[in-house]
Structure 1
Amino acid sequence: MWGSLAIAIISLFLGDLLEGLLDGLFDSVGEFLNPLLLFGTLAVVSGSGVLFTKYSSISNWYVLLISLLIGLGAYFLIYYLLVIPMSKAEASTSISIYDLAGKTGEVITTIPANGYGEVFIESTNGSRSESAKSFDSVKIKQGTHIVVVEVKDQVLYVSELTGL
């Protein structure tokens, strides 16, 4: 029990290193046979076996069977309630340039009627400047408030925002 608990704790801290070393072994079965899950389940099986042996008068074979069922239940609970949601979680707060459609900003480099300029867009995820072209093919001067109409080929197509 203590050995599997120690290995589970070590793999918690050195999980990336172990994952790199055992990458080929666990690639074929995916996240389902995660080493941390396996050693954690072994600790649950061992712990429940010790408790049932000490505090009940059940036969050792029944203790083993019950402990294995408890460990299997713990494995699936941890896998479906922790591993799957955590693997789907986003680690980045950045947004795609295509998410800027409909956002407002300001021209920082004048946009010629048939050329490119630069706009500054502020959002809750941070500020960014992007290349822009006039959607209406008109000159948009520096300092003008704009709205992003569409995004094509990593370029923002903007129009002057009126009514401000």
Structure 2
Amino acid sequence: MLDIYWWLLWGSLGAAIFSLFLGDAIEGLLDSIFDSIGEFLNPLLLFGTLSVIGGSGVLITKYSELNNFIVLILSILIGVGAYILLYYFLVIPMSNAETSTSISINDLAGKVGDVITTIPAYGMGEVFIESTNGSRNEIAKSFDNVEIIQGTQIVVVQVKDQILYVSELTEL
């Protein structure tokens, strides 16, 4: 039985390392399967769990006098416990982490910028908006249906259908 645990340990470690390097390619090929299964059955987590089962089986068999069936049950319980801990304390927090520093176009409402292409009264132009996350050019329309000439400072009043509706920024 000890040999089975060793094979499980080394085989699943090898598969986990293989999955670590080529996991994105495999996931791309099997995308529909992974979408239906969900994040809970992550291949890297499954191989890691099999490694824990194999490793705990080796250690319990080698350093205790327990029956093989009890060793198997204990190893599976330890592996399932490791899987649950890794899933809830590593996978979920990492998947909820922000992966981008860019902002959504909908976050531009209320931002101040400059007109770089004149905005006709009933047409579209282009505005330049700077932020701490970087600067960006966006398509804009006049909120008040008045012409806004190039170089004018504007404020974004509304964002609708990926178009910024802007008004000229005037001092009080």
Percent of matched pairs sharing the same residue: 75
Matched, 1:81 2:103: no
1:105 partner letter: G
Question: Are residue 111 (structure 1) and residue 126 (structure 2) matched?
Answer: no
Asked if residue 41 in structure 1 is aligned to residue 21 in structure 2, the reply is no
How far apart, in 1, do the equivalents of 2:137 and 2:32 lie? 42
Task: Confirm whether residue 123 of structure 1 aligns to residue 138 of structure 2.
Answer: no
Equivalent position amino acid for 1:117 in 2: G
Is 2:102 aligned against 1:94? yes
Change (3 A) 1:156 1:68: same
> Match for 2:165 among 138, 157, 163?
157
| Structure 1, 49-58 or 88-97: larger mean CA deviation | 88-97
Gap regions ≥5 residues in structure 2:
1-8
**1:14 match: secondary structure:** helix
What is the SS of the residue equivalent to 1:119?
Answer: strand
Runs of 4+ in 1 over 6 A off after TM superposition: none
Unaligned runs of 5+ in 1: none
SS in 1 for 2:144: coil
Q: Could you say which residue in structure 2 is the equivalent of 1:140?
A: 148
Question: How many residues end up aligned between the 2 structures?
Answer: 164
Aligned amino acid, residue 20 of structure 2: L
Q: Offset at 1:45? A: 0.8
Residue in structure 2 matched with residue 10 of structure 1 by the alignment: 18
TM-score by length of 2: 0.81
* Root mean square deviation, CA, Å: 2.3
